[in-house]
Amino acid sequence: MRSKPIPLTTVPGTTLGGGCSSTSSCGSASVVTDAEIAEKVANHPCYSQEAHQYYARMHVAVAPGCNIQCNYCNRKFDCANESRPGVTSRKLTPDEALAKVKLVASEIKQMSVLGIAGPGDPLANPRNTFRTLELVARDCPDIRLCLSTNGLKLLDHIDRIEALGIDHVTITINMIDPEVGERIYPWVVFQGKRYRGRDASKVLSERQLAGLQALTERKILCKVNSVMIPGVNDDHLVEVSRTVKGMGAFLHNVMPLVSAPEHGTHYGLTGQRGPTPQELKALQDRCEGDDGADMNMMRHCRQCRADAVGLLGEDRSDEFGPETYLGRADDGTLEYDLAGRREVHADIERWREEVRATRGSLQIEASGVRAPDEVVLVAVATKGGGVVNQHFGHADEFWIYEAGPNWAKLAQTRSVARYCAGPSECDDESKLDKTIRLLSDCRAVLCSKVGPEPSRALSAAGIEPVEVYDLIDQAVAEAGRRLVGSHGPSAHEDHGTPVAVTGQRGAR
């Protein structure tokens, strides 16, 4: 491993995670045994935690309308700096979308999935949605097709979904109890009739669950997204998880409510808060635990825009403005380089094999029977290649791992900006202070470099700064070995001096 350069040109911005030694890992890094499912998730960045370190997705915003209203959504809001579902800068026609997909596929060859996720509901805009997917299936045969829907119209389109080979469908299910639902959905329009209050949620829930059932019966892989809304549906989501698992959903993605007054949403305007990272993790753990729903949980969602492009941790949509693809669809300059793409994907798979082999030889795991009794949380700053390789001060996002001896399990990703609780709390707070608050439950932060001032501040907050350039899994497991069982704010006395373990890779 050590001698091979990390192929950043092939796999830009990637990081290793999990510790799963299976050929594919699902969103929760547990072992996928069914060969058919393993094949479907192998290069889908949302359905496989491991794959998301290597493969990119893109969304095309071809579906503006919606047939329900969620209290956390405002599709009128459009801000290039905003990043949450329902937000986009430009709505596309199917032909424009095809041109954009072809361009992105040639520029970002590890882009493996095209998703339609808004800005409204794809199935409330069936003509544009299916025409786009047909065109992409025709011209880009190696791209997986993915849909994310509120589920209201799933049953009406199930045959077409199956016929088009859309083998990944996400349904956003925030409740299965209309009493909970009436606090989330003010109205639903179904078969020409507008339903309100509890009736709206009853119609929606029945249709969502029937749609889920129909999809799983046809062996279409289903993920359920749920928005965690503290005080509204947080307790209820364990029951949702149990229910959808019983109906054959493959993965459950509990996401935090993103809510601020400037978004103009009902929740934003009425002061409904989102969960803290700790509350979110606790709920995800409950859904995953066998005393809860025992469900596969997705831990690496980034709550993408409806026009997101790139690896999940990055958004390159700005590089693909309309001027880059409009008018190029028919002039022959947008060739689909299938052979080139296959070569890149083969490179990625070779590299993944090597990483798995290294992980295996170090006996590092992220799931299974050898889970340690005690783990600590450590944060990782990374910008690619499966390595701890980012300067602390340059990181806008941290990967939070459960660490223990031979244990490195990705538990969450946390973005400094996303968890900022809004101007009232954050205006006067420095990025360093925000980051320390974000990582307050972590025992250490692993990064390639950290300056003296942040190092002192981290140490003073009980978070050990560790300078390391190594495989993430190895560095995390090593930190776990050292920190589990050691208590107190920090394992090292000299506040301000980061622990340096750079260059230790392969020493054991």
Residues within the interface to ligand CLF (CB under 6 A): 46, 57, 59, 113, 115, 117, 146, 148, 168, 170, 253, 301-304, 312
Residue whose structure tokens are 């700053």: 381
List the one residue from 18, 45, 86, 122 that touches ligand SF4 (CB under 6 A): 86
Q: Considering the complex, what minimum distance in angstroms separates the CB of residue 432 from ligand CLF?
A: 27
Query: Burial, 279: exposed, middle or buried (Cβ in 10 Å; 0-12, 13-18, 19+)?
Result: middle
Of ligand CLF, ligand SF4, none, which one sits near residue 46, judging by CB under 5 to 8 A according to partner kind?
Answer: ligand CLF
User: 72 or 130, CB closer to ligand SF4?
Assistant: 72
CA-based end-to-end distance of the chain: 14
**Alpha-helical segments (H) within 170-298:** 178-181, 197-217, 237-246, 266-270, 277-288
- Nearest CB to ligand CLF, comparing residues 30 and 148: 148
Round to whole Å and give the CA distance between 199 and 187: 9
Q: What are phi and psi of 168, to 5 degrees?
A: -135, 120
Q: How far is the CB of 115 from ligand CLF (least distance, A)?
A: 3
In the bound state, the residue with its beta carbon closest to ligand SF4 is 73
Name which of 485, 87, 507, 21 is nearest 306 in CA terms.
87
Q: Among residues 301 and 400, whose Cβ is nearest to ligand CLF?
A: 301
Site for ligand SF4 in 362-381 (CB under 6 A): none
SS3 67: coil
Distance from C-alpha of 435 to C-alpha of 430, rounded to nearest angstrom: 9
**Residue 69 interacts with, from ligand CLF, ligand SF4, none (CB under 5-8 Å by kind):** ligand SF4
Determine the interface stretch with ligand SF4 among 70-78, 105-113, 217-225, 485-493 (rule: CB under 6 A).
70-78
Judged by CB under 6 A, the residue of 29, 58, 66, 477 near ligand SF4 is: 66
Helix (H, G, I), strand (E, B) or coil at 411: strand
Other CB atoms within a 10 A radius of the CB of residue 164 amount to 16
Kindly state whether residue 181 participates in binding ligand SF4, applying the rule CB under 6 A.
no
Beta carbon nearer to ligand SF4, 150 or 284: 150
Give the Cα separation of 97 and 329 in Å (integer).
10
Instruction: Determine contact, residues 497/455, Cβ cutoff 8 Å.
Output: yes
Tell me the closest approach of the beta carbon of residue 391 to ligand CLF, in angstroms: 25
Size of the site for ligand SF4 (CB under 6 A): 12
- b or e along 346-364 (b: 16 or more beta carbons within 10 Å of the residue's beta carbon)? ebbeebbeebbebbeebeb
Considering beta carbons, is residue 175 or 301 the nearer one to ligand CLF?
301
- Indicate whether 120 belongs to the interface with ligand SF4 (CB under 6 A): yes
Residue 118 interacts with, from ligand CLF, ligand SF4, none (CB under 5-8 Å by kind): ligand SF4
Given ligand SF4, ligand CLF, none, residue 364, with its beta carbon under 5 to 8 Å by kind, binds none
User: Of these partners, ligand CLF, ligand SF4, none, which one is at the site of residue 312 (CB under 5 to 8 Å by kind)?
Assistant: ligand CLF
Is residue 69 at the binding interface for ligand SF4, with CB under 6 A as the rule?
yes
> What is the distance between the alpha carbons of residues 256 and 252, in angstroms, rounded to a whole number?
13
Task: Assess 204 for contact with ligand SF4 (CB under 6 A).
Answer: no
- Dmax (CA) for the chain in angstroms is 69
Asked if residue 121 binds ligand SF4 (CB under 6 A), the reply is yes
Give the tokens for residue 432: 């360093």
* Token representation of residue 88: 């986009």
* Nearer Cβ to ligand SF4 (14/132): 132
The smaller minimum CB distance to ligand SF4, of residues 41 and 68, is found at 68
- 434-472 in b/e form (b: 16+ CB < 10 A) is bbbbbbeebbbbbbbbbeeebbbbbbebbbbbbbbbbbb
User: Per rule CB under 6 A, is residue 150 in the interface with ligand SF4?
Assistant: yes
Stretch that binds ligand SF4, among 27-35, 113-121, 348-356, 477-485 (CB under 6 A): 113-121
Contacts of 336 by beta carbon, 8 Å cutoff, 6+ apart = 102, 105, 106, 139, 140
Whether 59 and 116 have beta carbons less than 8 Å apart is answered as yes
- Cβ-proximal residue to ligand CLF, closest one: 115
Q: Which does 151 bind (CB under 5 to 8 A by kind): ligand SF4, ligand CLF, none?
A: none
* CB nearer to ligand SF4: pick between 68 and 410: 68
Minimum CB–partner distance for residue 27 and ligand CLF (Å): 9
Assess 118 for contact with ligand SF4 (CB under 6 A).
Answer: yes
